Structure 1
Amino acid sequence: MDYQLTVDGLDETIPGGTNILLVHPSTGETDRIDTEFLKDDTDHFFVISTRTTAREVSQKLEYYDVDETKAVILDTLSVERGYSRRSSKNVHYVSAPDDLDGIIEQTERFFDEYDGKLRVSFDSVTELAYYAGEDEAREAVERILELIDEHDAVGLFHLSDEVHDDDVEEGYRELFDRVIDLDVEGNVEFDD
């Protein structure tokens, strides 16, 4: 199965199983890239958020005019922070951002419940590493990449280039099929 990749003026076809790393500064505006990735040529998408709550994800989708009926959101923050939460068919929770088993289980559940063209957005690997540790985060990311590949989906994973050691960042760059570099001015560079 092929997918359109329509991000920041780029318009090309990518095969299912393709995973893209979005490398950005801590202050970088990633929402535009993320929502462009999710908006087109998809039946359902799964947003794994270790950086914002489900409510904030919904607000972002609404602001960028992304069809929320296609969204399934995994909120990893609200339970630990004691925020009120309302589970629904399209919003799920795990106990904390370092609940790696819960994150992977919810990802498997998404793939079990939905068919067609599926996309995954993981925002962010950096926050996951902050809560769970670098090695544990890397293992979880690798497992989710395997699931994306198994289910012929595509994924976009956020990573801040100001936080990780150079060797950790380089290891992630090598792990992904494509890399998008976003600078502080909002300029985008694509690497195959």
Structure 2
Amino acid sequence: MGGYWMDFTDEIVPFGGVNDDGSSIRGNAEKTRHQGIELGMRVQVTTRDAIALAASRSWDEFVSFHQYLDTDWDGTADTEVDNSGNPIALFPEYLGMIAWDRNWHAGVRTRLRGNVTGKQYLDNTGNEERTIDAWGTVDVSLWLALGDLGMTALDGATAFVHARNLGDTEYEVWGYWAGDNWYTPAAGRNLALGLDYDF
């Protein structure tokens, strides 16, 4: 378990919106603060089973941040907005993960994992209507160490299957505000197959 407190001067932060290339518009904020607590642990429950847990809660805010906006699109900033005290955009309020790992026998391992991510603001105003909602997913994975399963010619090779977002949860991973809320959606239920080889 640990905690942190970080004060920044001129931190580069998202300003909201994207440029013509689709990249996030960023700039400097005079003073920002990041503070939080973190927990990580792994418990070997039996010789075959282990439970892992990771969680964090953070408070990310502007200590002093005056943003200058060009509201009439004439190329000159005409409006000053004081965002001091507001949450910084795109920092989740919390993160969490719990996983159950099991070694069934030599060469066969599985993992069942749950993830949660807290609310994020799309811009720096602290407006509750400009947010990405909290979300959670469940994943399951299988690994087969082929050499341990009797395929000696494939010693060092591990086949894997990852089934992600089993509940087909609809959620967003990123976004911005530019007159309306704009979101980047995450993948729905998906499957990844592959082969790792250790030389």
Q: Same fold (TM over 0.5)?
A: no
Normalized per residue, which structure has more strand? 2
Normalized per residue, which structure has more helix? 1
Give the number of the structure whose alpha-carbon radius of gyration is greater. Answer: 2
**What is the TM-score with the length of structure 2 in the denominator?**
0.28
